Structure 1
């Protein structure tokens, strides 16, 4: 199947009985969460990439919100990143990602709810053309990274939030952490860079994450994210960037 994005007017690619399908956008951090779980647990699947500015009618029929990720297998459809990750962990239950301990599982939920405090200033800074506003939002990001630094350090069984191996939360956080280094490049301002020496535990976590085959398989480097976001900010995102002709 093509990696090129399916757009409005395209024909629906027929499904196959019993084959798990992910509806995806290659640069979407929310869809990357689902891809990370699929890759980590080595779940067989196929991928259909969606042009999010010109969505196919058949995709909107599957998910009227028009958002990725969406999972489909036979007559089952599961949208939304956290729902897809949890569903995959429940259905493909080998090598569990969700903590067995109820207290730890509850705190992972707290950590996930806090991600919005990173996402909001980050994308605010990405979209802003005001240098002082960008620097202010960068300081917010650094403050909230300290929260994760302290929580991860307190667990004392790292390098992951899941301990010696990643948990679901590691994969929920990673796509946004992966994109943070693009901000100083996008704005040409080194002041915005992550101060690794102030978050040594998170820095070690990031190093361990980057070595996971699932992360290697789903990630782009900072310069690639910058290239894509420049197109996105101009109103002409190239959903097929870096793909060779089929």
Structure 2
């Protein structure tokens, strides 16, 4: 069995072509074709893993994965700046995934800054799933991709010849195929911290220091701080879970982008949040998959400066 995961590891300079769902996950518009990937059928439905429900996502054919096999081979697709044949793997193994990641803007061959792609990569790392990384230029989207998926959204996973989209769905699939170590979280905790990213973007884009966006960000951080005081150190207690892996890249973007453009630091009123961020950012999985701060800053430039 073969699966192909399409990711974007760097957001375009103004995040155009991305969409944020109610869960906070995003589908971005950058995708490249993996080596020897098969064509996908056209459809407009997605089978959600485990649930088997259809949900409209894009014009590709999405299907529910089968759960038979630990021999699953994935190809994870992000984006880069040189032909695939010129890129070296960062990991290897007989049953490894092949990761094609988007390069940082103006930096061929270097991983970029997409927080939603990093979420999937963090899941791969925390579950000890081997993968090979290649960085592909996506400035000129290949015709095969636009024909198969006119919306051009990623992350997308190709599993058993079918396309599956959205970082929520991809990480759920990985949890099904590789249940240990478990990253599951109770349903009532899945939305913890989900308001932070939107509040961060609101403050980042603000041109008026008195418009209340900074106060709105502080409010959601205080709420998250109170949650961690009662239920931490992670969202699901002592062990890291999928919600932590979704929040980590977003909190990193918040810290870096607001620090650069607003001279903002994590408020003293939320010490538990600060400790939480430090714990996440120091994990080996995060250190392996994080973007360079300069690339995060560049990625948000157009949102802030209108460039």
Cα displacement (A) at 1:97: 0.5
Aligned match of 1:239: none
Q: If the length of structure 1 is used for normalisation, what is the TM-score?
A: 0.73
Matched, 1:107 2:188: yes
CA contact (8 A) 1:149 1:202 kept: yes
What is the aligned residue count?
217
Aligned residue for 2:212, secondary structure, equals helix
Matched, 1:124 2:217: no
Cα displacement (A) at 1:50: 6.1
Query: Within 1, Cα distance between the matches of 2:196 and 2:73?
Result: 35
After superposition, residues 107-186 of structure 1 pair within 5 angstroms as 107-111=188-192, 115=194, 117-128=195-206, 130-132=207-209, 136-155=212-231, 158-186=232-260
- Segments of structure 2 that go 5 or more residues without pairing to the other structure are 1-7, 11-28, 39-70, 79-101, 103-111
Aligned residue for 1:22, secondary structure, equals strand
Query: Within 1, Cα distance between the matches of 2:273 and 2:141?
Result: 37
Cα displacement (A) at 1:64: 4.0
1:181-207 per-residue CA deviation (whole Å, 9 max, x = no partner) reads 2233432x33x3221x21111211112
Matched, 1:219 2:290: yes
CA contact (8 A) 1:21 1:48 kept: no
1:13-62 per-residue CA deviation (whole Å, 9 max, x = no partner) reads 22499531222243111111111101111112344656566433333455
Cα displacement (A) at 1:12: 5.5
Cα displacement (A) at 1:72: 2.3
Query: Within 2, Cα distance between the matches of 1:202 and 1:224?
Result: 24
The 1:48/1:81 distance shift into structure 2, 3 A limit, reads farther
Instruction: Kindly indicate which of the two structures has a greater share of residues assigned to helix.
Output: 1
The 1:151/1:19 distance shift into structure 2, 3 A limit, reads same
Cα displacement (A) at 1:208: 1.3
Aligned residue for 2:113, secondary structure, equals coil
Query: Within 1, Cα distance between the matches of 2:174 and 2:198?
Result: 27
- Segments of structure 1 that go 5 or more residues without pairing to the other structure are 100-104, 237-246
Query: Within 2, Cα distance between the matches of 1:149 and 1:4?
Result: 29
Q: Which has the higher contact order (CA 8 A, sep 6+)?
A: 2
The 1:234/1:68 distance shift into structure 2, 3 A limit, reads farther
The 1:213/1:126 distance shift into structure 2, 3 A limit, reads same
Aligned match of 1:102: none
Cα displacement (A) at 1:162: 2.6
Instruction: Kindly indicate which of the two structures has a greater share of residues assigned to strand.
Output: 2
Query: Within 1, Cα distance between the matches of 2:245 and 2:178?
Result: 16
Query: Within 1, Cα distance between the matches of 2:116 and 2:251?
Result: 12
Query: Within 2, Cα distance between the matches of 1:62 and 1:151?
Result: 43
Cα displacement (A) at 1:211: 2.0
The 1:61/1:146 distance shift into structure 2, 3 A limit, reads farther
Aligned residue for 1:110, secondary structure, equals coil
